[in-house]
Amino acid sequence: MASTLKDVARLAGVSIKTVSNVVNGYPHVSAEVRRRVEAAVVQLRYRPNASARTLRTGRTGVLALVLPATHLPYADDLATAVVHAAGQRGLRVVVAHDDQPTSSGLDDVRTMPVDGILVGASGTLDEPDGPLAATGPPVVLIGGASHDQRCDQVRIDAAQAAEDATNHLLGVGRRRVAAIGVRATAAPQPGSTGYHRALRRAGLVPGPVLSAQHHRRADGYRAARDLLSGPDRPDAILCSSDPLAIGAMRAAFDVGLRVPADVAVIGIGDIEEGRYSRPTLSTVAVDTGFVAREAVARLAIRINRPDAAVADIIAPHTVLPRESTDAGTR
Amino acid sequence: MASTLKDVARLAGVSIKTVSNVVNGYPHVSAEVRRRVEAAVVQLRYRPNASARTLRTGRTGVLALVLPATHLPYADDLATAVVHAAGQRGLRVVVAHDDQPTSSGLDDVRTMPVDGILVGASGTLDEPDGPLAATGPPVVLIGGASHDQRCDQVRIDAAQAAEDATNHLLGVGRRRVAAIGVRATAAPQPGSTGYHRALRRAGLVPGPVLSAQHHRRADGYRAARDLLSGPDRPDAILCSSDPLAIGAMRAAFDVGLRVPADVAVIGIGDIEEGRYSRPTLSTVAVDTGFVAREAVARLAIRINRPDAAVADIIAPHTVLPRESTDAGTR
DNA sequence: ATGAAAGCGCTAACAC
DNA sequence: GTGTTAGCGCTTTCAT
């Protein structure tokens, strides 16, 4: 059985209040008493009961990061960055991997004892009642393109990122640019907007835009195979995430095409895999550290002041040209 | 402010016990009362306080999965499988991403309110006092090759897996087989044992065995580059994980070699990336579902019976020949 | 500088 | 079938 404050107090011959003071680093404790208490803590292997503490104080010191089952492309990097950013503020992080494709995992985590929740949205998260409407710990959206203006969010400018990526493809001489995206809702995809904008400004007609179900390699594979085996084969494909792009490259090889010679491919996200793939994957890098820091900061603010104004923070992005769009080999 | 049982009871005109009964699905409640209570629950947006419940019952219904900062190769798959396996038993899972390379994250999670902890060990986890020595929720080790016999663990037979993989390389005609592993402790690596065994039985001399720091692509890259740019270049490399193998393949290309024609590469883990890489990566598949199910089952047993006998469960593995070891192209 | 006591929200025993 | 009460382990006034 785990020992409690009372056990420690009895062994040290003091009151539980004193033990609590020592454990919590309260300064006004005599050296002698502190020594006795610390010895008792070690001897009894005392560990504070987090539930009791939380029940009393209303604080857990823990944030939850909810990752969707649909595999957020840069989940790994994001998790690492969030853990780090939270650690800087003395907060721990638990990650809730959604089992279901639906966002029900959010409900699960809402009942867990955490101070706040970061929701990594792969697509759009448009629940009927929105994350804020329900009770529970405050929520900050990461990376999602939610139009829900009642919830803090940190994201890149998806339309601008798609436009920049498309312009990169045009810049290396491509003219028949197709796109593969993930449509999460009936709402227009911001990525698609940027893609069209870039082509229109260049005086080109948009190529086909295929919709993948999730941000997974297999989804990119299927979509690209369809794109590349039909007539009017594109000479470039813009993918709304790196896993899609990885799958697209594999599809190109499997139908006998070379990347980038026959078809250029670019993704979004800058996952590590793309730096080792063959060819290396051109992509749009998102500043994950920025995203994590801002999201945690935002959440910390909202935890302390629930009525703070809603923020919509845009993270910077950069096009990273690599082998998969190299014009030189063409 | 969040509403409590008392609030609901007052609104519904019943006692808190009755509300508790309804919330917990206790059958002996009259239909009329149940209806009133449920209405009040909805109206007040009541959510049970997990901390209070845990404090009272001593149960959280949550398992923690600790993933090391050193990037467990198949972490993603494992997390998904564990979440699923736990879900089957009505348990939720939180993932604790270790920030530090040390295993201190385990201490962190020990203070969190969970019923049990699954520790995904990338290498060996040989703490001075071992996971079991400390107090706190029970621990089950996953995938580690800990020699700590005081702790339940589920793992593959690493020596056998390495031997099988080496035999596969020999089977496709390779003779100068090198290896890249991750040495976590001073203890001999089981993988190395199997590698040597296979070569000895074939009457061959072992090639160089390089030690990578972590299971990361960059580590595999560095080690393979050293291996391939020196004299006595190997014609095959056994890597103790898929990320190492991915890095090794990239290194081979960068020094101007072809895979598998000039050098064959095989990994362990069967991560999805290896099915899309070029060439696709031969590997040893671990039955992640089995691992997850057994680990969760083991943990569930130990939660209920702390004195149960310690189990050491071996999960099945299978060699998956793919393009990176294809003998045909040689 | 230390102790006594109240109470956070909930469930388990026990009355009725 | 429903209500009353005690107490899980902790922090926090308020005394001393």
Let me know if residue A29 belongs to a domain. Answer: yes
Which residue is it, tokens 């629950």? B41
A300 and A212 share a domain?
no
Which residues of chain B from 157 to 216 reach within 8 Å of chain A, CB to CB? none
Query: Taking 80 as the threshold, does the pLDDT of residue A131 lie above it?
Result: no
Q: What is the rounded average pLDDT for all residues in chain B?
A: 88
For position B89, what pLDDT does the model report?
94
In the structure encoding, which two tokens stand for residue A184, read together?
Answer: 């999460």
Let me know if residue B52 belongs to a domain. Answer: no
| Across all strands, nucleotide nearest B6 (CA–C1') | C9
| Cα gap A148→A157, rounded to integer Å | 16
Average pLDDT of span B13-30: 90
CA torsion A241→A242→A243→A245, rounded to 10°?
Answer: 90
Let me know if residue A254 belongs to a domain. Answer: yes
Average pLDDT of span A189-201: 86
Helices (H), chain B: 5-12, 16-23, 31-44, 50-57, 75-88, 104-110, 130-133, 158-171, 190-201, 217-229, 242-254, 288-304
Average pLDDT of span B320-325: 97
Query: Taking 50 as the threshold, does the pLDDT of residue B330 lie above it?
Result: no
| Across all strands, nucleotide nearest B30 (CA–C1') | D1
Is B150 in contact with B162 (CB distance < 8 Å)? Answer: no
Let me know if residue B139 belongs to a domain. Answer: yes
Average pLDDT of span B142-167: 86
A265 and A177 share a domain?
yes
For position A186, what pLDDT does the model report?
55
Query: Taking 80 as the threshold, does the pLDDT of residue B178 lie above it?
Result: yes
A127 and A252 share a domain?
no
Tens-digit pLDDT profile for residues B281-302:
999 999 999 999 999 999 999 9
Tens-digit pLDDT profile for residues B113-153:
999 999 987 544 445 445 555 678 999 999 876 566 778 99
For position B175, what pLDDT does the model report?
95
A2-6, A38-42, A145-149, B134-138: segment of lowest average pLDDT: A145-149
Query: Taking 90 as the threshold, does the pLDDT of residue A113 lie above it?
Result: yes
pLDDT class of A329 with cuts at 50, 70, 90: very low
| Cα gap B153→B273, rounded to integer Å | 27
Range of the domain at B129: 57-157+287-316
Query: Taking 90 as the threshold, does the pLDDT of residue B266 lie above it?
Result: yes
| Residue A45 at interface with chain B, using a CB cutoff of 8 Å | yes
Domain end call among B27, B47, B67 = B47
| Cα gap A326→A262, rounded to integer Å | 11
Q: What is the rounded average pLDDT for all residues in chain A?
A: 88
pLDDT class of A76 with cuts at 50, 70, 90: confident
Number of domains in chain A: 3
A162 and A280 share a domain?
yes
Let me know if residue A52 belongs to a domain. Answer: no
Q: Where does residue A67 fall: left (phi above 0), alpha (psi -120 to 50 degrees), or beta otherwise?
A: beta
Average pLDDT of span B239-266: 97
Q: Is the CB of B30 under 7 A from strand D?
A: yes
CATH number for position B118: 3.40.50.2300
* A-to-B residue pairs, Cβ atoms closer than 8 angstroms: 121
A72 and A99 share a domain?
yes
B44 CB-near residues (< 8 Å, 6+ apart): B3, B7, B8, B11
Query: Taking 90 as the threshold, does the pLDDT of residue A248 lie above it?
Result: yes
B88 and B167 share a domain?
no
Let me know if residue B225 belongs to a domain. Answer: yes
The nearest CA of chain A is from the CA of B188 a distance in Å of 30
CATH number for position A26: 1.10.260.40
A324 and A186 share a domain?
yes
A136 and A260 share a domain?
no
A13-22, B105-114, B119-128, B257-266: segment of lowest average pLDDT: B119-128
A82 and A167 share a domain?
no
Query: Taking 70 as the threshold, does the pLDDT of residue B218 lie above it?
Result: yes
Tens-digit pLDDT profile for residues A300-320:
999 999 889 999 999 999 999
- Give strand C nucleotides closer than 7 A to any protein Cβ: 1-5, 7-13
Residue of A92 and B68 predicted with greater confidence: A92
For position B279, what pLDDT does the model report?
96
Q: Is the CB of B16 under 7 A from strand D?
A: yes
Let me know if residue B7 belongs to a domain. Answer: yes
Query: Taking 90 as the threshold, does the pLDDT of residue A185 lie above it?
Result: no
Query: Taking 50 as the threshold, does the pLDDT of residue A128 lie above it?
Result: no
Residue of B147 and B322 predicted with greater confidence: B322
Tens-digit pLDDT profile for residues A204-244:
988 899 999 889 999 999 999 999 998 889 999 999 999 99
| Across all strands, nucleotide nearest A46 (CA–C1') | D9
CA torsion B254→B258→B264→B269, rounded to 10°?
Answer: 50
Instruction: Find the CB nearest B250 among A54, A87, A276.
Output: A276
For position A135, what pLDDT does the model report?
76
A325 and A198 share a domain?
yes
B113 and B4 share a domain?
no
For position A206, what pLDDT does the model report?
87
For position B146, what pLDDT does the model report?
59
A14-28, A132-146, B145-159: segment of lowest average pLDDT: A132-146
A136 and A171 share a domain?
no
| Cα gap A277→B86, rounded to integer Å | 34
